[in-house]
């Protein structure tokens, strides 16, 4: 006869039986000394309660561990928790009624850090019980925690090793930035959403040529005030097209679709030539007189506001075949700017606001005020057309807000010179399924960039670098003991 069991009663009885008789411990002890199977848990965040995805994740892992024990393996397992970072900061800010990062110093950094620690530990203990409640066998009594000194010392050791091997450096780069979180972001912290944005076509007057213009296209009007160059493809065909009383330079393949279709104007072609003939052509920035930094930049960097070449980032899939370049507002722009000796330029604050040095744009908010910036371009008589574009745009996976780009100084691990070696080693690894390694992981390695290891927040592992403000020399420590020794010898000031 089939009996109906009340799971709410049966499951607690089973859990109590396991605990009373040490079944998990006996299962581990049974295979001691046999062939080993090593499992270190990929940690969930302790920023909330266990959700369905986390429970499913743990149940699947538990199934594998039980299977390996039944096969006779000596299974070493350890649970773990990711307890630092923005998810916890945001939750604690909300609990404390803090509206943004700027209010944390007023509340007290130590007070805030302690609140984050208490929040994370409370959630960890609750999650331990939930995982045990669904029957997962792991070492929840000794989980690794990213907030423990031993864990953070491990990170310090890694940073020290990178320094000793010449792979730690401080540099200024254009980074993904979340204005809501007020910090830089890594690529894996981005989510892409299909959105509809305004795109604009703008005339850049060519110097020493009356009524002759480079026509650029951009989907990010907020970056125009930071424009320092125009990219053309040396291998594409371009034309000088007569449009009314003006001459426009655009890619030949896009001339008809853009001038007739988008700008809705008649035109005739005066000249055809390859893109490489545009190298060094100088133009006047729409806001050259309003942005005093341009003068200093042009004095120091001769290629500012000239045409430079890029085969990688200029094509004829859309636009005009001429791409506006702001090295301070995008990684690709930064790359081409760096190649041509054009520095990153960006006056945004951590909150994405144009600072007081930004002239007529002071107080504008990046991306949110695209229409205001477009209107300033229109006032100059340099706006050719506006169109809507549907495209994928990066958003912060925490705040869910669109990201911007900022030129910012961070600490990095140097890894780009290792990519070829890593790709070669990857070929010797057996992947199941094969495409996961031969295609997906290989593509991931091929697109690696030097990794930024710093963030502009309060709840995380402290960077073990002390830098002298006078001479810029710095000391890197790899452990708490090293920190004590360096402090006692006067090599740094504690705190």
Residues in contact with 101: Cβ distance below 8 Å, sequence separation at least 6, in sequence order:
93, 181, 182, 183, 350, 456, 457, 458
Question: Kindly report the CA angle at 105 between 100 and 109, in degrees rounded to 5?
Answer: 110
d(CA 234, CA 314) in angstroms, rounded, equals 9
Chain-centroid distance, C-alpha 125? 31
Rg of the chain, C-alpha, whole Å: 29
d(CA 484, CA 478) in angstroms, rounded, equals 11
Q: Which CATH architecture is the domain 192-406 placed in?
A: Alpha-Beta Complex (3.90)
pLDDT at position 492: 63
Average pLDDT along the chain = 92
Token readout for 72 is 């006779």
Residue 359 DSSP class: G
pLDDT band at 449 (very low <50, low <70, confident <90, very high): confident
Q: How many residues does the chain have?
A: 495
Q: At residue 356, does pLDDT exceed 60?
A: yes
Of 313, 287, 88, 306, which is closest to residue 214 (Cα–Cα)?
Answer: 306
Map out the domains of the chain as residue ranges. Answer: 7-147, 163-170+415-488, 192-406
Top pLDDT among 136 and 490 is at: 136
Share of the chain above pLDDT 90, in %: 77
Cis peptide before 207 (omega within 30 of 0): no
Instruction: Please write the tens of the pLDDT for every residue from 276-312.
Output: 999 999 999 999 988 878 988 989 999 999 999 999 9
Of 49, 30, 23, which is closest to residue 135 (Cα–Cα)?
Answer: 23
pLDDT at position 447: 84
Q: At residue 320, does pLDDT exceed 90?
A: yes
259 in Cβ contact with 244 (< 8 Å):
no
pLDDT at position 391: 86
pLDDT at position 112: 97
Q: At residue 495, does pLDDT exceed 50?
A: no
Q: At residue 257, does pLDDT exceed 50?
A: yes
- Homologous superfamily (CATH) of 7-147 is HUPs (3.40.50.620)
Token readout for 89 is 């900061």
Global pTM reads: 0.80
d(CA 33, CA 73) in angstroms, rounded, equals 9
pLDDT at position 1: 46
Beta strands 36-40 and 74-78: pairing type? parallel
Can you tell me which residue has the tokens 């060519």? 206
pLDDT band at 236 (very low <50, low <70, confident <90, very high): very high
pLDDT band at 10 (very low <50, low <70, confident <90, very high): confident
């Amino acid at each position: 006869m089939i009996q109906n069991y009340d799971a709410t009663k049966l499951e607690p009885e089973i859990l109590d039986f396991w605990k009373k008789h040490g079944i998990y411990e006996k299962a581990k002890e049974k295979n001691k000394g046999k062939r080993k199977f090593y499992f270190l848990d990929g940690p969930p965040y302790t920023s909330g309660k266990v959700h369905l995805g986390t429970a499913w994740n743990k149940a699947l892992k538990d199934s594998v561990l039980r299977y390996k024990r039944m096969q006779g393996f000596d299974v070493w397992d350890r649970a773990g928790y990711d307890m630092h970072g923005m998810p916890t900061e945001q939750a604690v800010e909300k609990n404390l009624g803090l509206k943004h990062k700027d209010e944390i110093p007023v509340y007290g950094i130590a007070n805030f850090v302690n609140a984050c620690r208490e929040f994370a530990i409370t959630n960890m203990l609750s999650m331990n019980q939930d995982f045990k409640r669904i029957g997962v066998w792991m070492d929840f009594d000794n989980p690794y925690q990213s907030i423990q000194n031993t864990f953070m010392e491990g990170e310090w050791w890694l940073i020290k090793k990178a320094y000793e091997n010449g792979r730690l450096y401080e540099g200024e780069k254009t980074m993904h930035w979340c204005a809501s979180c007020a910090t830089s972001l890594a690529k894996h912290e981005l989510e892409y959403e299909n959105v509809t944005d305004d795109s604009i076509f703008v005339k850049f007057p060519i110097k020493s040529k009356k009524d002759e213009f480079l026509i650029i296209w951009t989907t990010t009007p907020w970056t125009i005030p930071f424009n320092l160059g125009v990219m053309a493809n040396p291998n594409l065909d371009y034309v000088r097209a007569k449009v009314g009383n003006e001459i426009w330079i655009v890619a030949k393949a896009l001339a008809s679709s853009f001038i007739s279709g988008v700008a809705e104007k008649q035109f005739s072609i005066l000249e055809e030539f390859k893109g490489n003939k545009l190298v060094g052509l100088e133009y006047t920035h729409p806001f050259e007189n309003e942005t005093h930094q341009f003068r200093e930049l042009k004095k120091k960097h001769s290629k500012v506001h000239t045409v430079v070449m890029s085969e990688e980032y200029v094509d004829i899939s859309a636009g005009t075949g001429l791409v506006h370049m702001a090295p301070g507002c995008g990684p690709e722009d930064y790359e081409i700017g760096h190649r041509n000796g054009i520095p990153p330029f960006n006056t945004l604050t951590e909150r994405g606001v144009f600072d007081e040095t930004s002239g007529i744009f002071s107080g504008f908010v990046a991306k949110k005020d695209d229409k205001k910036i477009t209107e300033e371009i229109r006032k100059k008589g340099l706006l050719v057309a506006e169109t809507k574009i549907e495209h994928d745009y990066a958003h912060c996976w925490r705040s869910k807000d669109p990201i911007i780009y900022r030129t910012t100084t961070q600490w990095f691990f140097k890894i780009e010179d290792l990519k070829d070696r890593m790709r070669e080693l990857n070929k010797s690894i057996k992947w199941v399924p094969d495409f996961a390694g031969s295609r997906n992981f290989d593509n991931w390695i091929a697109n690696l960039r030097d990794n930024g290891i710093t963030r502009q927040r309060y709840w995380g592992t402290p960077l073990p670098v002390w830098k002298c403000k006078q001479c810029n020399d710095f000391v890197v420590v790899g452990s708490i003991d090293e920190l004590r020794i360096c402090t006692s010898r006067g090599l740094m000031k504690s705190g």
